[in-house]
Structure 1
Amino acid sequence: MPMGTGAERQVLSESDIARSLTRIAHEILERNHGSDDVVLLGIPTRGAPLAERIASRIAATEGRPDIPAGALDITMYRDDLRGQPTRTLGRTTLPASGIDGKVVVLVDDVLYSGRTIRAALDALNDLGRPAAVQLAVLVDRGHRELPIRADFVGKNLPTSRSERVRVQLTETDGAADAVTISDAVTVSDTVTTSDAPTTSDGEAR
């Protein structure tokens, strides 16, 4: 079991995160030639407030009152559910306009193995038929296990598998926005494969 971690260092400050989200909002507008038919769905926990923030930035840029945004719970679609059956169900909230024929931008905090996004695509498939699906993440830390790539990235952050990336947001953590990375975990000789590095949501992604 883990015995401790090395020093935690900040890689994105509150202002860095704000600039990254503003840039992502502009890139979404450029890629889709405006915001018509764009819907943002955040993956809980931290993807949901990030989606709301990006939607607000897009709306402000376009001079619109709002951009459809919601949340997509993927709990029942995870491929590790059998090993951790007690996961708490989240909440899926879709805009009133739905997702059929829309450009759905999935939003998450950290992209790692790609398994969370694969689960999100499965969940999305049961809810409707979007015209296209795009992916926006605040941090891409690499180490993909599936052929999944983000369309919009706040920061590419090369990491080792033993390092931990933590995203802290005001809405979910009650503290100033920040992204930190901790040094390799010091472990005992009894570590098992279940001790994989995790993101801020406590799940291997």
Structure 2
Amino acid sequence: MTTEHIILDASDIDRMLTRMTHEILEIHKGAEGVALVGIQTRGVIMAQRLQKKVSDVEGVDIPVGILDITLYRDDWTRVAKHPVLQATEIPFSIDGMQVILVDDVLFTGRTTRAAMDALIDFGRPDRIELAVLIDRGHRELPIQANFVGKAIATRRSETVNVMFVEKDGADQVVLQLMSEA
């Protein structure tokens, strides 16, 4: 039996992305030299939304890339015999850029580690930062986000699902608890 609780709705998510946008612009003193790289799948949607918000505030379009980390995962051979690869598109040089990796949920840190490994294959950014909508704790690696929408204390038995209208038909964050029947 699964228990679900909606912990964030569309307006919550939008407010968090707006705040994160302003934090990014404040720390970087604008948008010059900043690029966003979304981690497939929902990190890409989040990166595109952050790009739009930066454009609304600064009047400039910062570059956005798409990164698939499947083959960089340290557990891909255990996850699937035939991994499904998605697009990786970074149509700009990351050399010397301030690259912000974007993902929906930060959990163990392993996805972020894989993303950094994958990103370095494209060049040498001056700095790599991390923006996540949800930080749920339970790190297995020494990784932390620079920009966080919301930190949520979770149990390992719980699942945090971020949903975006572009992929899932609604904007919300759902906390699921698997309980024994």
**TM-score, scaled to structure 2:** 0.96
Q: Which moved more, 1:106-115 or 1:177-186?
A: 177-186
Report the secondary structure of 2:76's partner residue: coil
1:24 and 2:13 equivalent? no
**Structure 2: distance between partners of 1:54 and 1:25:** 6
Q: CA deviation at 1:59?
A: 1.3
Supply the RMSD in Å over aligned alpha carbons: 1.1
| Counterpart position of 1:49 | 45
| Counterpart position of 2:91 | 95
Q: What amino acid is aligned across from residue 19 of structure 2 in structure 1?
A: R
**Structure 2: distance between partners of 1:103 and 1:42:** 14
**Structure 1: distance between partners of 2:142 and 2:179:** 27
Higher strand share: 2
**Structure 1: distance between partners of 2:147 and 2:108:** 17
Q: CA deviation at 1:184?
A: 3.7
CA contact (8 A) 1:25 1:54 kept: yes
| Counterpart position of 2:156 | 161
Map 1:54-93 → 2, pairs under 5 A: 54-64=50-60, 66-83=61-78, 84-93=80-89
| Counterpart position of 1:39 | 35
Calculate percent identity across the aligned residue pairs: 52
CA contact (8 A) 1:13 1:177 kept: yes
Report the secondary structure of 1:183's partner residue: strand
**Structure 2: distance between partners of 1:164 and 1:186:** 15
**Structure 2: distance between partners of 1:78 and 1:42:** 16
CA contact (8 A) 1:111 1:139 kept: yes
CA contact (8 A) 1:52 1:70 kept: no
**Structure 2: distance between partners of 1:75 and 1:99:** 20
**Structure 2: distance between partners of 1:52 and 1:38:** 14
Higher helix share: 2
| Counterpart position of 2:134 | 139
Which runs of 5 or more structure 1 residues have no equivalent in the other structure?
188-205
Equivalenced residue count is 180
Larger-Rg structure: 1
**Structure 2: distance between partners of 1:73 and 1:110:** 15
**Structure 2: distance between partners of 1:56 and 1:82:** 36
**Structure 2: distance between partners of 1:131 and 1:85:** 36
